[in-house]
Amino acid sequence: MEFYDSLEAVPASFGPSAVAIGKFDGVHSGHRSVISTLVGLARAEGLAATALTFDRHPLSLLRPEACPLQLLSNAQRVERLADTGLDATVMVAFDEKFSALAPEEFVATILVKTLRARTVLVGSDFRFGARGAGTVETLRELGAKHGFEVRGIDDVVALGSERRASSTWVRELLSAGDVATAATVLGYTPTIRAEVVHGVQRGREMGYPTANLSPQIEGFIPADGVYAAWFTVDGSRFGAAVSIGNNPTFDGVPEKQVEAHVLDEKLDLYDRRVEVSFVEYIRGMHKFSGMAALSEQMVRDEDRIREVLGYSPRGSVQPRP
């Protein structure tokens, strides 16, 4: 997949194209279904399957107080889009200049001149141009004028559910710690990534050394609690017990601190970039009477996490997954 981080980066020879427009926050199962339809149309018509998206949520500029947290960083989003079969993704800076484009200018400058669109896919509630003045009907009228077809996109219902797959739903699920259902709606295991930084090594004192993730985390951090997770570093994947929260048993732990105890491995992880993929919520964050009580609970947590991940019991030889 080709990636262009601005309209200016798109070569003059680009296209003709079939274009889907959207935030694609999360690149969830609904987005993937739309993109699959787009790719099929593009292949049948000899067009470049293209996603047109934005470098930030439009509300971050238009209504910052109502802007939701992103499910993925821009880098994560591009990586997920690259796995869908798209030929290209164009990420536009949603700034004051872009937000002020009239609907006609949006179509003429971006869809016609830059992307040479022949087919455009949009949802039924799609709005574009300054103050959202452009509707799907506006786009159809402009498409007839400029020579491209507009196709509406039906809502996609998440597997095993009657609810529409949406980024809002994924945020609700992750905020409640329901990472398993979130994975179903996303179509992949919810994942964050960051560098490992030095901590105060309380876990090491209790026999559970942890990798502390930097606060500069890519991705949406689930609710506070303990999780079964996969921990990936340099392409190698390991099972892990992951804690999120301020660990109320101790003083001075930051909010939303993410700590991962890698099962059956002793790894030098400081300053390395790692990924944590959340498989199942194990329990909430509780305050214990002291380190001994916490250690006992951590043993029980580990036993449950090993069961969830299919790891051998503690003390046995564990083949690497």
The per-residue DSSP string of 101-155 comes to --HHHHIIIIIIIIT-EEEEEEETT--BSGGG-B-HHHHHHHHHHHT-EEEEE--
Please report which helix (H) or strand (E) contains residue 169, including its range: helix 167-175
Q: What is the pLDDT of residue 153?
A: 86
CATH of 2-153, picked from 3.50.50.60, 3.40.50.720, 3.40.50.620, 3.40.50.2300, is 3.40.50.620
Average pLDDT of the chain is: 90
C-alpha 258/C-alpha 240 separation (Å) is 12
Q: How far apart are CA 63 and CA 55, in angstroms?
A: 16
> What's the confidence (pLDDT) of residue 210?
86
Nearest C-alpha neighbor of 82 from the set 43, 49, 57: 49
CB 260 within 8 A of CB 276: yes
Out of 1.10.3720.10, 3.40.50.2300, 2.40.128.110, 2.40.30.30, select the CATH number for domain 190-309: 2.40.30.30
pTM of the shown model? 0.90
Does residue 320 or residue 285 have the better pLDDT? Answer: 285
* CA 121 – CA 153 distance, rounded (Å): 6
The residue-averaged pLDDT of 11-36 equals 96
Residue 196: other Cβ atoms inside 10 A: 21
Counting residues of the chain whose pLDDT is more than 90, the rounded percentage is: 75
Q: Under 8 Å CB-to-CB from 242, ≥6 apart: which residues?
A: 226, 227, 228, 229, 231, 258, 259, 260, 261, 276, 278
Beta bridge partners of 239: 230
Q: Which tokens is 67 given?
A: 């802007």
The contacts found for 248-255 with CB under 8 angstroms, 24 or more apart, are 248/285, 248/286, 248/287, 249/286, 249/287, 249/288, 249/290, 249/291, 249/294, 250/202, 254/215
| Structural tokens at position 316 | 């046995």
Domain boundaries, the chain: 2-153, 190-309
The 10s digit of each residue's pLDDT in 116-166 is 999 999 988 899 999 889 999 999 999 999 999 999 888 788 777 778 899
Q: What pLDDT score was predicted for residue 155?
A: 78
pLDDT band, residue 200 (cuts 50/70/90): low
Reply yes or no on whether the pLDDT at 289 is more than 90. no
Q: Which residues of 151-171 are buried (b: 16+ CB within 10 A; e: fewer)?
A: eebeebebeeeeeebbbebbb
| Contact of 10 with 4, CB cutoff 8 Å | yes
Angle 267-270-272 from CA coordinates, rounded to 5° = 90
**Which is more confidently placed, 198 or 7?**
7
pLDDT for the residue numbered 294: 78
In DSSP notation, 32-69 reads HHHHHHHHHHHHHHT-EEEEEEESS-THHHH-GGGPPP
